[in-house]
A and B are shown apart, each in its own frame.
Chain A
Amino acid sequence: MTDSLRRTHLYEWHKEHGDLVPFAGWEMPVRFTDIREEHKAVREAVGIFDTTNMNRFWISGPQAPEFLQTVTTNNVSKLEINGGQYTTCLNEQGGIHDDLMLYRVGENEYIWVTNADNGPKIHDHLKKTSKDFDVKVENRTKEVSMIAVQGPKALALLSKLAGKDVSEFPRFSANLVSLAGNDCYLCRTGYTGEAGAELLVLDTPFNDEGKKKAIAFWEEILKQGEEFGVKPCGLGARDSLRLEAGFVLYGHEIDEDTSPIEARISYAVKFKVDPHYLGYDTVWSHKKEKTIRKTRIGLIMIDRGIPRQHYPLLFEGKQIGEVTSGVMSPILKQGIALAYVKPNTVQIDDIVEVDIKGRFRKARVTSWPFYDKERYGETRIS
């Protein structure tokens, strides 16, 4: 068992064009040019990301929907063919094993797309919990690469590559499309707040031929995207974009000790489901009886400074919580953060202090997304 970092199909391209860093056991580009420029390209035009380090499981069989309902919190029965949903997979205490996208691509065929960190954990969990069901769980992470195309011009670029209008595909849908000769599931989802898709690129085995195919596709997207102002984007921009949108990141806002109710991602949780999923009782209690132990808030700095993970938060002189993620927002040009506080301590517009390495700096409690929804994001008024 080697300790070396894993690489995606596009590694050679990333090595030539970007700055590589270790991330969740993978060697990935943190940037290609400048994180802020890449970030702005996604908000104003279109950016592409290699997300092959995420994990992709195919779950199929006559009992697939029933099985999936026992291990995920959203309503699986509501998924029509080509539909998708954001959902969570919980432990017995209602804490989060992972957040994920679940797509239904056939009568009894589903794709589970999950975080890089949590691949082995989720694979073991699925194998164990599916034993008594008539289902098949296949890890197709290696042979299916993944590219995210995000931004106000993303759908125009994807339509050009498809030779047809893909903007008709509704949000969260997953449809089989040929893009520049590559069969892909075009999933109308993303992690930036902007319109676009995450492409599951089929038939890219992790060998020389598959890597060449993936690189050729990536380069073709960049070539066809030139007229739209496309930029290749790394992990740095991926994080600043998701933070501005208020999206959670595993290991920061969500983990085994945090419920989706505490994380304020209740839209991933449904209660009128059958059978009940693992962790149901705790989430029910958190939601209906308000037994949460903490709650997520957003912060925007008033004073100068950047809040970062683990920095304490004070309100009226008392520590009430800590920061989970923070960054200088390239759009707002101000520090923004996500944090957890004890329930019933602060509300929107309250002023708290962030302990930035011994300097106490003021921030305002706010909600997300942090950007103006009329100017940025999928709901922008164009």
Chain B
Amino acid sequence: MSDELSTPDELLYSRAHEWVRVEGDIVVIGITDFAQNSLHEITFVEVSEAGTVLETNAECGLVESMKASSEIYTPIAGEIVEVNPSLEDSPEVVNESPYDKGWLMKIKPSNLESDKAQLLDAKGYLEYVQSL
């Protein structure tokens, strides 16, 4: 776990500590470095299955660590098109690589511009986290 918080510039962030990356007509979603560091030893990750249609901020999964249990809420409404297959056998990938190999799900957005407007940029998220 790094001492300095990582908040890549190209991503958007929710106050529930999820990140969003737009890749063409789908978005990739995961949890932030701050979230994985707070949870620490992640032992279990569960995400709703591909095909599930979600509204903005709907609960769509659970991240469990040795000392904590945390729901995942989608910052982007739409249909889940893919869930990271590594999560079941290697949940620790979320600790090790929260923005890359530890992605949680890919969504085909139904309301992207409106949902993006609710999110923070890297600088805004860093300020938000520092205020907690």
Contact = CB atoms under 8 A, between A and B. Distances in A.
B43 A328 contact: yes
B67 A308 contact: no
Contacts of B64: 305-306, 328
Contacts of B67: 30, 35, 236
Nearest to A37: B41
A272 interface: no
Nearest to B71: A357
B94 to A, nearest CB: 14
A361 to B, nearest CB: 10
Contacts of B125: none
B40 A31 contact: yes
A327 interface: yes
Given A306-B69, A308-B69, A357-B71, A36 B62 contact: no
B117 interface: no
B46 interface: yes
A295 interface: no
A35 B65 CA distance: 10
Interface string A347-368: 0000000001101000000000
Contacts of A328: 43-44, 64, 66
A30 B66 CA distance: 11
Contact of B44 (A35, A306, A357): A306
Q: Which size class do B's interface residues fall under?
A: 10 to 19
A236 B66 contact: yes
Interface in A200-222: none
A240 B67 CA distance: 10
Interface string B64-99: 101101010000000000000000100000000000
Given A30-B67, A306-B69, A308-B69, A357 B43 contact: no
Interface of A: 19, 30-31, 34-36, 236, 240, 304-306, 308, 327-328, 335, 356-357, 359
A29 to B, nearest CB: 12
Given A356-B62, A357-B69, 6 more contacts: A30-B67, A305-B44, A305-B62, A306-B64, A328-B64, A335-B44
Contacts of A359: 62
Enumerate the 3 nearest inter-chain pairs by beta-carbon distance, A residue then B residue, closest first: A328-B43, A35-B66, A306-B64
A35 B40 contact: yes
20 contacts: A19-B40, A30-B67, A31-B40, A35-B40, A35-B41, A35-B66, A35-B67, A236-B41, A236-B67, A304-B46, A305-B46, A305-B62, A305-B64, A306-B69, A327-B66, A328-B64, A328-B66, A335-B44, A356-B62, A357-B71
A240 B43 CA distance: 13
A34 to B, nearest CB: 6
A228 to B, nearest CB: 24
Interface string B42-62: 011010000000000000001
A59 to B, nearest CB: 36
Most A Cβ at <10 Å: residue of B43, B46, B66: B66
Contacts of A308: 69
A211 B99 CA distance: 43
A278 B66 CA distance: 38
A308 B62 CA distance: 13
Nearest to A35: B66
A240 B64 CA distance: 14
A30 B67 CA distance: 9
A306 B45 CA distance: 10
A305 B46 CA distance: 8
A236 B66 CA distance: 7
A36 B69 contact: no
Contact of A304 (B40, B41, B44): B44
Given A304-B46, A305-B44, A357 B66 contact: no
Contacts of A305: 44, 46, 62, 64
A31 B1 CA distance: 13
Contacts of B41: 31, 34-36, 236
Contacts of A236: 41, 66-67
Contacts of B66: 35-36, 236, 240, 327-328
B132 to A, nearest CB: 16
A305 B69 CA distance: 10
B60 to A, nearest CB: 12
B62 A357 contact: yes
